[in-house]
Amino acid sequence: MSSWLVSDSLVITKRHLIHIPRIPELLFFTIIQPIIFILLFSIVFGNAIKVPGENYINYMMPGIFVQTMAFSTTSTCVGLAEDLHKGLVDRFRALPMSRAAVLVGRLLADTVRSLLILIIMIIVGYVVGFRFSNGFLPALGGIGLLLLFSFAFSTIGALIGLSVKSVEAANMAGMVWLFPLTFVSSAFVPVETMPSWIQPFANNQPVTVTINALRGMFAGGPIATPLVQSLCWCLGITAVCLFWAVQKYKKVSSH
């Protein structure tokens, strides 16, 4: 049964990845948003926002990396909602394949796409002055953490996409909760500059701890504590949301 799930999931993953070169404008508009954020914060706000003892470009880039991986949730959410409401799930249901493969294949394909976007972001970051200054292996580990974070948040998107009534609702529901989560964090300014009543939330939510771990891995500094916190968040989100999404998908596909 597990080998059946793996093979079917890889087939679905390939199906989604083939669509990328066939619809290049979709990838273009997905990439352009983080590029705009990089240029906006580095050129427009870079001299206005001061972080004591740190180069602001190196400070903000982990935040933009994490923000972009979080926003990838929307594509998973909308993609699954489209598959569901356009009848693709019904066609897959008629085939001798694992039901969960449709969900897992979508998540894997979106993670591969996130890797492609991340590579382009790193290139743009290097153009504006970002550097990995803590060595190759910590940088590679940080990229791995970003992909795990992307996969975890995509499971949230999958759950939302399977729960809403329309593609339009999926587009809104997949995005609206991400803004407070990504901006009330250490992504662009130190948490210490925020009002005291919101700092406990900002310090302990998954976006902030992942950003803090990445800053340590990319530029040097504390790694162990924020890394453990980030891994706990990512694995916990994945376990809960993936299980719930699979149950939701089985229920939807059985109708």
CA distances from 190 to 70, 76, 87, 202, 203 (A): 19, 30, 46, 10, 10
Q: What is the pTM of this model?
A: 0.90
What confidence score (pLDDT) does residue 1 get? 46
What confidence score (pLDDT) does residue 97 get? 65
How large is the average pLDDT for residues 131-139? 92
213, two tokens: 């771990």
Q: Which of 216, 195, 235, 178 is nearest to 54 (CA)?
A: 216
H or E element in which residue 46 lies? none
Give per-residue pLDDT as tens, 190-224: 899 899 999 999 999 999 999 999 999 999 888 99
Specify the residue for token string 């909308």. 78
Lowest mean pLDDT among 32-36, 97-101, 166-170: 97-101
Q: How many CB atoms lie within 10 A of CB 28?
A: 9
Contact assessment for residue 11 and residue 3, using Cβ atoms and an 8 Å cutoff: no
What confidence score (pLDDT) does residue 227 get? 96
What confidence score (pLDDT) does residue 241 get? 92
Gyration radius from the chain CA atoms: 19
Q: Burial, 116: exposed, middle or buried (Cβ in 10 Å; 0-12, 13-18, 19+)?
A: middle
Specify the residue for token string 């993953």. 13
Contact assessment for residue 42 and residue 61, using Cβ atoms and an 8 Å cutoff: no
- The more confident residue out of 24 and 72 is 72
CA distances from 210 to 68, 74, 198 (A): 13, 19, 18
* CA–CA separation, 34 and 127 (whole Å): 14
Give per-residue pLDDT as tens, 27-84: 677 788 888 888 888 887 767 777 777 788 889 999 999 999 998 888 888 887 877 7
How large is the average pLDDT for residues 71-99? 73
pLDDT tier, 231 (very low <50, low <70, confident <90, very high otherwise): very high
What confidence score (pLDDT) does residue 99 get? 66
For the cut 80, the answer to whether the pLDDT of residue 146 exceeds it is yes
* CA–CA separation, 61 and 143 (whole Å): 12
